Amino acid sequence: MFFGHIAVGLAAKPVAPKIPLGALLLSATAIDTLAGVFAIAGIEKMDASGNSSFPWSHGLLMAVVWAVAGAAIAFLLSRDRRVSAVIGLVVFSHWALDFVSHPMGFGRELPPDLPLLVEGSPKVGLGLYNSVPAALITEFGLFIAGIAIYLSTTRAKDRVGRWALWLLLLFVFLLALPAAVPELALGPTFATVLLLPLGNWVDRHRTSGRAHMAAAAP
């Protein structure tokens, strides 16, 4: 659901225009970044055989913890409750989308793999990724919707602002190719931190929120 996570970050921009796009994209993918850290540390494991174990990053309980932590950090930095709430919800949206998409069977029927609590607790997942056509339609539908929402609520300030988003989206596609295979996902997982500076760079060349509405008014 990588494109779906990116879509949430893009779509959240008009909800809280104060939040830099890079921060929204990083928040939407933070749980995957944590999974990469935990996999390197030997705490979790990811594979395509249905034996993945990631209770500390992708468990429901820990998703709530990470969302609260993200909201707390956002509040400390911004002193804005709306900013804090949006960041927390964007972080938690990762688990919600994974609940719909996991397990990642890609045409194979795999058992649920998202633990509710810790390792050994019941696991859940609706298994959208067990059907390749359903996964592609849903994920790219969300991705296109996210892009449309961002473009319709922002406006380029200059020439860079007209093409910067497309460069960012190209980077997203390059990340997604190996990330689709769990055994190859660690590199792209860590590379998601680059979404922060790239997204913020896009933001600096586009106006959003009230500024965009005022510019669009007759």
The pLDDT value recorded for residue 181 is: 53
Distance CA 118, CA 21 (A): 32
Helix axes 21-40, 60-78, angle to 10 degrees: 140
Model confidence at 178, pLDDT cuts 50, 70, 90, reads low
- Nearest alpha carbon to residue 101 among 146, 131, 58, 57: 131
Whether residue 129 is predicted with pLDDT greater than 50 in this model: the reply is yes
Least confident of 82-96, 103-117, 134-148: 103-117
Least confident of 8-22, 34-48, 94-108, 200-214: 200-214
Rounded mean pLDDT of the chain?
Answer: 85
pLDDT digits (tens, 9 = 90+) for 40-70: 888 887 765 556 788 899 999 999 999 999 9
pTM for the model: 0.87
- Which residue ranges make up each domain of the chain? 2-213
